[in-house]
Amino acid sequence: MNDDSPDASQELSAVLEDVRRHLLWQEDGAGRLLMIDAKAAAELQRLAPSMRSRFARPGGAAEPTAAAPERRPGPVQGSPGATPPVDSPMAERRPGPAQVLPGATPPSAPSMAERRPGPPASPPDSSRAAPVSRPLVDAPPPRAEAPVAARAPLSRPAAPASAGTLLDVPRSSPGGTTALPGSVDGERPTLDQVRRELGDCQRCKLCSGRKNIVFGTGNPRAELVFVGEGPGENEDLQGVPFVGAAGDLLTKMIEAMGFRRDDIYICNVVKCRPPGNRNPEPDEIAACEPFLRAQLAAIQPKVVVALGKFAAQTLLRDSTPITRMRGAWRVYEGIQLMPTFHPAYLLRNPAEKRKAWEDLQAVMKIFGKNPGSRA
| Cβ–Cβ < 8 Å for 229, 269 | yes
Most distant pair of Cα atoms in the chain: their distance: 139
pLDDT (0 to 100) of residue 20: 65
| Distance from the first to the final alpha carbon of the chain | 136
For the stretch 155-173, pLDDT in tens is 333 333 333 334 444 444 4
Nearest CA to 269 out of 224, 215, 221 is that of: 215
pLDDT (0 to 100) of residue 41: 61
Q: Residues in the chain with pLDDT < 70? A: 1-9, 15, 18-45, 47-178, 372-375
**Distance between CA atoms of residues 96 and 13, nearest Å:** 27
**Distance between CA atoms of residues 77 and 81, nearest Å:** 9
Nearest CA to 207 out of 271, 267, 126, 140 is that of: 271
pLDDT (0 to 100) of residue 66: 44
pLDDT (0 to 100) of residue 39: 66
Q: Which long-range contacts (CB under 8 A, 24 or more apart) does 309-313 make?
A: 309/342, 310/229, 310/230, 310/269, 310/279, 310/280, 310/285, 311/227, 311/228, 311/229, 311/268, 311/269, 311/339, 311/342, 312/337, 312/339, 313/166
pLDDT (0 to 100) of residue 36: 55
For the stretch 16-71, pLDDT in tens is 776 666 555 454 444 445 555 566 666 666 765 655 555 455 554 444 444 444 55
pLDDT (0 to 100) of residue 138: 47
**Distance between CA atoms of residues 37 and 266, nearest Å:** 112
**Distance between CA atoms of residues 204 and 168, nearest Å:** 16
